[in-house]
Structure 1
């Protein structure tokens, strides 16, 4: 199982999020997406908002938070601050990878 510091496994739909020199693995598993949906609303609506450029930073942080494989060393606030420091342009490929997994599956 992939966790903090490990390389993501593309076969499982995983992607990497680099924060402060540490690689975190993001995996949109069923449980993670159910939790994200409970907080953010229907996933198809989330994808539509992203496609329309209307996805909020809070929604993106929420989606990433729920999809983190190992978040023991990170708070949600720290994730949000790190996302701001990284910049939305650099986060776009990760968001695209997660949304693609939501739509296409493995």
Structure 2
């Protein structure tokens, strides 16, 4: 899989040793919002340090540009947790910026 395209607002995150690309498309953000609630509230929680791990995983899961064969959401979540939240911060920052700025 090729890397993230910043011109499309994409970000990369390494999960279980594999580089995955997150694309905050309209459809992806709508799906995330249906699961975790209003995106603006999510951005506010993140800014206040109150973003939950489940919310982060849900946002990332819905924004995955392509899911590797056999990757389950549970395994994805475990990979996010195993990699540490600090490793996801750059990708989260990009996605939150795209939510606020739009493209």
What is the CA distance between 1:21 and its match in structure 2?
2.4
2:37 equivalent to 1:45: no
Q: For 1:72 and 1:16, how far apart are their aligned partners in 2? A: 14
Q: For 2:49 and 2:5, how far apart are their aligned partners in 1? A: 28
2:6 equivalent to 1:16: no
What is the CA distance between 1:59 and its match in structure 2?
0.2
Q: Pick 1 or 2: higher relative contact order, CA cutoff 8 A, min separation 6.
A: 2
SS in 2 for 1:23: strand
Structure-2 residue corresponding to 1:34: 30
Q: For 2:49 and 2:20, how far apart are their aligned partners in 1? A: 25
Unpaired runs of 5+ residues, structure 2, are: none
Please give the TM-score of this superposition, normalised by the length of structure 1: 0.91
Unpaired runs of 5+ residues, structure 1, are: none
Segments of 4+ moved more than 2 angstroms: none
Size of the aligned set, in residue pairs, is 102
SS in 1 for 2:66: coil
User: Equivalent residues in 2 for 1:1-106 (5 A)?
Assistant: 5-73=1-69, 74-106=71-103
SS in 1 for 2:59: helix
